[in-house]
Structure 1
Amino acid sequence: MAFVALQAVVVRIAAGPLAGASWRTTVIKTMILMATASVAMATVASAQPLVPRVFGDPAGPRQEGSVRVQSSINVFLPGPTNESEDAQKLRDRGKRLVYEAAARECDLLREVVAKDCRIESISSTVNIGRQPYGQQVEGYTINGQTSFVITLK
C-alpha cells in the first residue's frame, strides 16, 4: 500500500508540478507523502508478529545433565611446505596433534567434571604460514576444533 503511494509521488514528480501549485508546494507535498509512506511501511513491518524460531539440536536430543563442551588448539610447526614426503609427514603430525589433544581432553573432562565424555565432532585445518614473530620461519599453522558431549558427575 505504501509502495503504491510512493509510486504515485514519483509519477507526479515526473509529470511536473501539481495543477495550480508552485514548484515549492509540490516539493513540500512530495516530502510529506514520502514521510507518510515511510511511516506506513514501518507500521506494517512492526505489526508482524515475532515468532521465535526453535531449532533442534543437530546432534539429536540430549540427556538431562549433559553439557556440550568445545575446545580448540592452534599450533605452528616449522618445516618444509612443499610437496615432499617430509612436508606430508609434518602435515600428518599436525593433524595427529589435534586428534591426540581431543582424546586427552575427554580424559581430562572425565577426571574433573564428567561421568561420561563423547567426542561429537573434530575439525582440523592445516595452512602454510610463517611464524608471526621473530624470524620468518616457514611451516604450517595447525588449527583444531573439537566438540564434546559430557554427562556431569
Structure 2
Amino acid sequence: MAASAPCWLFVALALCLVRSSSSAEVYEIPVRSCDGATTPSSLRMECTQFIRGTCILEKGNTYNLTAEFTPERNLQEVESHAAWKSWVEMPLYGHESQVCNGLYLSCPLRAGQPTSFTYPLHVHEFLMRRRYPVIWRLKDVDTEDTALCFVFSIKIM
C-alpha cells in the first residue's frame, strides 16, 4: 500500500520546482516623488520579475517592500495610506494603515535619523491582471501632513 521511495522522491522534487518557479527576488524599484514630501532614498521590493521599471507580482502571493528614508521632522505616530493611482485614487484592499507597531515601522520618528519602513503587500486573487501605478504615503497622525510619498509601478499576473 505504501508508495515506493522513488515515487515520494519524485513528488518532493516536483514540489520544490513549483515553489522555486514562483519565488520572488528583491529588486531596487524606481520611485517618483509626490505631494512635495520626502521620497525614499531606496525602495526595495520582492518581485517575481522586474521588467522595464515595473515589479511583476503574482496573484495570491505576498511581497515585502522596504522604503528607506530620513524624516524631515519629528513624528510621534504615522499612518500608511496606499492606493492605485489612476484618474482617481482607489485605496488598496486590505491595506493596514496602523504601522507604528515595531514590525512595519518603529515610532516615534526622529528628524534626520535614517528610518526603514517595511510592509507585506498581499496581492489578492480577485485583482485584475494589469499594470498599476501605486501611490504610497506615510502621514503624520496629528497634523495629517504627508511625511513620505512615492509612486511606483507594479503589474499583476
Instruction: Tell me, yes or no, whether TM beats 0.5.
Output: no
Q: Which has the higher helix share?
A: 1
TM-score of the superposition, structure 2-length normalised? 0.28
Q: Which has the higher strand share?
A: 2
TM-score of the superposition, structure 1-length normalised? 0.28
